Amino acid sequence: MDSRGAPGEGPTGEIGGGLFFVHLFRIHLGGRKAGKRKMIRVVALGEVEDAPLQKLCARLYQIFGVGCELGPDMPLPMSMRGQGGKSGVDGIELLEKVHSTRHLPRSKDITIYITTKALKSVKLPTGVQEQPQSISLPEKGGGLVSLSGLTSGKAGGNAAALLTARTSRLAVHEVGHLLGLRHCVEAKCAMYPPWTPAFAASETVQLCAFCQDKCEQKLEET
Report if pTM > 0.85.
no
Local confidence band at 26 (pLDDT 50, 70, 90 cut-offs): very low
Assigned superfamily of 21-221: Collagenase (Catalytic Domain) (3.40.390.10)
Domain boundaries, the chain: 21-221
Query: How far is it, in rounded angstroms, from Cα 157 to Cα 169?
Result: 18
Query: How far is it, in rounded angstroms, from Cα 98 to Cα 6?
Result: 25
Residues 71-114: pLDDT tens digits? 888 888 877 776 666 678 888 999 988 887 665 555 678 999 99
Three state DSSP letters for the chain = CECCCCCCCCCCCCCCCCCCEEECCEEEECCCCCCCCCCEEEEEECCCCHHHHHHHHHHHHHHHCCCEEECCCECCCHHHCCCEHHHEECHHHHHHHHHHHCCCCCCCCEEEEEECCCECCEECCCCCEECCCEEEECCCCEEEEECCCCCCCCCHHHHHHHHHHHHHHHHHHHHHHHCCCCCCCCCCCCCCCCCCHHHHHCCCCCCCHHHHHHHHHHHHHC
Instruction: Spell out a b/e string for 106-135, using b for 16 or more CB atoms within 10 Å of the CB, else e.
Output: eeebbbbbbbbbbbbebebbeeeeebbbbb
Q: What percent of the chain has pLDDT over 70?
A: 73
Query: How far is it, in rounded angstroms, from Cα 49 to Cα 136?
Result: 22
Which positions ≥6 away from 125 have C-beta within 8 Å? 5, 6, 9, 10, 12, 193, 195
Local confidence band at 156 (pLDDT 50, 70, 90 cut-offs): low
